[in-house]
Structure 1
Amino acid sequence: MDGNENLLTKEVPPIIDGFRPDLYYEFNSLLIIGEAKTKNDYLTKHSLNQYNKYIHYCSRYWGDAFFIICCPWGCTADMNIIIKKINNKYKNKVNIIILDEISGEIKCKK
């Protein structure tokens, strides 16, 4: 979704508490918010704030909410710890999926 050509020609995800996720899907009682990170930006203050805002937003959703985070394999262990810690703040209400190019999908249990 990133890039001026997409911003000008396609529908973009809504801004959530000051941040625009890479992926936003809502239909019936399902909400999915997705974010992709590189090894250079997954631990920045900006990224940590995004994770917190998106998980908080999902935790308030009335139906089933999923937060999907994509990161390089070398960041997966750190990402799992970070995301679980944030989700714990919101009583683990959000379904979390962490994707990387080697392991595929790691689900953090609610």
Structure 2
Amino acid sequence: MAQKCCINHESSYGFHLELDHRRLVRRQATTRSLVPKPARSGRARYLDADAQAWLVAYVGQHADATLAELGAAWQAQGGRPVGQTCIWQVLDAHRLRRKKKPARRGTRPEAGR
């Protein structure tokens, strides 16, 4: 008689089917339906449409501002503190991507001349 391996595809697949079956039975018992729950949309954005419009206008006036400076300006304007990721997501959504390029050779003045 052959011994079974500790874990094989058939047994783990059967285990997952059993869990799915339990979920379906529980869902039918609580909601009287097998229709899945609607998808959640996630957390609301920290910056609403008016705040995003202000930020886009501010970037238009201060194109060289860093994310930290934009966050400080937003907070000074009266907004609640937000992280740099939040500010970056707003800028990215409005296609305000600015990558600062390093200086090219020959454009910097040489020392001692």
Interval containing the TM-score (normalised by the shorter chain) = under 0.3
Greater CA radius of gyration, 1 or 2?
A: 2
**Larger helix percent:** 2
TM-score using structure 1 length: 0.28
**Larger strand percent:** 1
Greater relative CO, 1 or 2 (CA 8 Å, sep 6+): 1
TM-score using structure 2 length: 0.27
